[in-house]
A and B are shown apart, each in its own frame.
Chain A
Amino acid sequence: MAASKEEIVAGLAEIVNEIAGIPTEDVAEDKSFTDDLDVDSLSMVEVVVAAEERFDVKIPDDDVKALKTVGDATNYILEHQG
C-alpha cells in the first residue's frame, strides 16, 4: 500500500536520524539535506538507498541531484512509489 505524505516525511526523518544523527523532530519538508541536516553527498546516497527500500521506489542517480530538501524527496517518492 502506498505511503501517505506524512508517513514518507516520518520515514525520511528516521532515515536521516540513523545516518546523520539529527533528531527526527528537526527533519521537516523545508529542510535542506546538505545545509540543515548534515547529509553530505556520500550520506545522501545512503539516504536514497534506504528510502528506495522503505518506500519501494527507484530513484536514479540523475534524479537525486534535484532532491535538495526533504519536501523534494517526499514529493518524488509520492509520485514514483510502487
Chain B
Amino acid sequence: MNATNRTVVVTGIGATTPLGGDSASTWDGLLAGRSGAGPLEQEWAADLPVRIAAAVAVEPGEVLPRPLARRLDRSAQFAVIAAREAWADAGLTGRAGEDGIVNPDRLGTVIASGIGGVTTLLDQHDVLREKGARRVSPHTVPMLMPNSPAANVGLEVGAQAGVHTPVSACASGAEAVGYAAEMIRTGRADIVVTGGTEACIHPLPIAAFANMMAMSKNNENPRTASRPYDTGRDGFVLGEGAGIVVLESAEHAARRGARVYCEVLGQGLSADSHHIAQPEPTGRGIAAALQNLLDATGLDPAEVVHLNAHATSTPQGDIAEIKALRKVLGDEIGHVAISATKSMTGHLLGGAGGIETVATVQALHHRIAPPTINVDDLDPEVDADIVRGEPRKLPTEGPLTALNNSFGFGGHNVVLAFRTV
C-alpha cells in the first residue's frame, strides 16, 4: 500500500451503554437479548408524553474522579470512560509520548455527538434565571461545545495530529469513525481514537423528539417499546452512552505487536436532499451511500455476512433502509444476517454509530451476530434475514465482512464496512 491508501485496523474497543459499563458487559447484554430501557421515574418526566428511556447501566460519577466529572458534560464523561477502556484495550497506557510507543504528532481523536452538551446548556440556563449571571459556571462553554468529548479525550491521550467532531445528527458517530479511518488511510495520522457519544435524557429533548412523532409512546412497556421491523413499532426509544474504538494503520499496529480485531474496509456517504427530518421513503440516498462504499472499496456484495442496521424502530425509516439494501445488494441480501441492536440499547443518536461500530467489531471478532429483540410480528415489507430473538453464529471459516449503517436528521447517510483479517 502506498502512503495515501494505507490499510486501517481496529485495535481497541470501549463502551458505556444502557446494557453495561464497558464493552464486554454490553456485548453480553446484546447476546442475551436484554433490553436496556426502563421507565423515567424522575419528577420532571411525569407530564411528558414519553416517559421511557435507556439510561446508562453505570453512572459516570461512579467511575470518574469528582473533580474531572464536574467539569465535563455527561456526553464527555461517557466518551472519556469509553475512550479509557479502548485505549487500555489497545494495549496503551498514559499519554502519547510518555510510553515511547505512540508519537503524539501522529495521534488524533475524532469523536462526535449529535446534540453536544445540551444538558449543560439547559442546566446553566436554569442557573442564570434562578440565581443570576454571576453563578453561571465558567466551565459552561467548554462543557457544552460539541467538540468537547473529542477535545477532552484528546487531552487524555495527548493527541496532536488533529481533534475533530463531525456533526450529522444520528449519523455523527459513524461519520466520526469514517473520518478517523480516512485520517489514517491518507497518512495524516497513524492512530486515532474515534466514536460517538450522547447524553440528552432531559425533558426538553424528549418533549421535542416526542412532538416530532419520532419516539415510541409505549410508556407501559419500556422493554418492548423499541421493536425494529415489528408491525407494532411506533418510534425510537432514547438511549445514552458512548462507543469508542482505536483505529490504527496496519503497519503501526504490526510494528508494536498490537492485537488486531478487524480491518476498516471503508465507508460510503451520501445525502438524501429530501426533507430535514423525514427519511426518503424509497431509500434512494441510503442506496447511494452503499453503492459508493462498494465502488470505493471493490467489496463484492456476496462477501457481506452481517449488517448492524440503523433500524431505529420508526415506521418509515426501517422500511426505507431495507428497500435500499435490496436495491443495491439484490438477492445477496439473503445471506446477510441483519441485527437491529437498538432494540436493546435504544437509540443513542450521535452515540449510535459509536456503540454499533463496537458491536459490529465484536460480531466479527466472535463470529456471531447479536439478536434483534421484540420482533413478534415481522413487518411483511421486511423481506430480509433479520436475526430474531437469539444470536446467530456466522461462518466459522474464512474472512467475514460486515456493514454498519447510520443515518441522521438532515438526510445524512453513512455506511461503514469492516472485515476480519
A19: interface (CB < 8 Å): yes
A49/B134 in contact, CB under 8 A: yes
Quick check: A42 and B142 within 8 Å, CB to CB? yes
Interface string of B111-143 (1 = CB under 8 A from A): 000000000000000000000001101110010
B interface, size bucket: 10 to 19
Indicate if the CB atoms of B138 and A19 lie closer than 8 Å: no
**Distance (whole angstroms) from the CB of B50 to the closest CB of chain A:** 35
The answer, yes or no, to whether A72 is at the interface (CB within 8 Å) is no
Q: Is the CB of A45 within 8 A of B70?
A: no
Residue of A nearest to B141 (CB): A42
> In whole angstroms, what is the CA distance A43 to B142 when docked?
12
Specify which chain A residues have a CB less than 8 angstroms from the CB of B138 in the assembled complex: 42-43, 45-46
Is the beta-carbon distance between A21 and B65 smaller than 8 angstroms? yes
Scoring B residues 42 to 75 as 1 if CB is less than 8 Å from chain A, else 0, what string do you get? Answer: 0000000000000000000000011100110000
Chain B residues, Cβ within 8 Å of A49? 134-135
- Residues B66-86 near A (CB distance < 8 A): 66-67, 70-71
A56 contacts chain B at the CB level, 8 A cutoff? no
Contact mask for chain B residues 12-36; partner A; CB cutoff 8 A; 1 contact, 0 none: 0000000000000000000000000
User: In angstroms, how far is the closest chain A Cβ from the Cβ of B135?
Assistant: 6
Q: Fill in one digit per residue for A20-39: 1 if any B CB lies within 8 Å of its CB, else 0.
A: 11000000000000000010
Q: Report Cα–Cα, A42/B134, bound state, in Å.
A: 13
Tell me which residues across on chain A come within 8 A of B137, comparing CB atoms: 46
Q: Which residues of B contact A20 (CB under 8 A)?
A: 67
Q: Which residues of A contact B134 (CB under 8 A)?
A: 49, 52
**Minimum Cβ distance to chain B for residue A26 (Å):** 13
A63 to chain B, nearest CB (A): 14
Who on chain B is nearest to A53 by CB? B135
B67 A21 Cβ-Cβ under 8 A:
yes
Complex Cα spacing A46 to B138, Å: 7
Task: Check A19/B142 contact, CB under 8 A, given A46-B137, A49-B135.
Answer: no
Chain B residues whose C-beta falls within 8 Å of the C-beta of A19 in the assembled complex: 67, 70
- Complex CA gap A42/B67 in Å reads 13
CB distance from B323 to the nearest CB of A (A): 50
Q: Which residues of B contact A21 (CB under 8 A)?
A: 65-67
Smallest Cβ-Cβ distance to B65: which chain A residue: A21
Interface residues of A in 39-79 (CB under 8 A from B): 42-43, 45-46, 49, 52
* B71 x A43 contact (CB < 8 A): yes
> What residue of chain A has the Cβ atom nearest to residue B66's Cβ?
A21
Q: How far is the CA of A51 from the CA of B186 in the complex (A)?
A: 52
The reply to whether A42 and B139 form a contact with Cβ atoms under 8 Å apart is yes
Chain A residues with Cβ below 8 Å from B135 are: 49
Q: Measured between C-beta atoms, what is the minimum distance from A48 to chain B in Å?
A: 9
Chain A nearest Cβ from B242, distance in angstroms: 23
Distance of B303 from chain A, by nearest CB (Å): 51
Chain A residues lying within 8 Å of B65, measured Cβ to Cβ, are 21
A52–B132 Cα distance when bound, in Å, is 14
Binding site for A on B (CB under 8 A): 65-67, 70-71, 134-135, 137-139, 142
Where the two chains meet, the residues of A that have a C-beta atom closer than 8 Å to any C-beta of B are 19-21, 38, 42-43, 45-46, 49, 52
**21 sampled A-B residue pairs with Cβ under 8 A:** A19-B67, A19-B70, A20-B67, A21-B65, A21-B66, A21-B67, A38-B67, A42-B71, A42-B138, A42-B139, A42-B142, A43-B71, A43-B138, A43-B139, A45-B138, A46-B137, A46-B138, A46-B139, A49-B134, A49-B135, A52-B134
19 extra interface residue pairs, beta carbon distance < 8 Å, beyond A19-B70, A42-B139: A19-B67, A20-B67, A21-B65, A21-B66, A21-B67, A38-B67, A42-B71, A42-B138, A42-B142, A43-B71, A43-B138, A43-B139, A45-B138, A46-B137, A46-B138, A46-B139, A49-B134, A49-B135, A52-B134
User: Shortest 4 CB-CB distances between A and B: which pairs?
Assistant: A21-B67, A45-B138, A42-B138, A20-B67
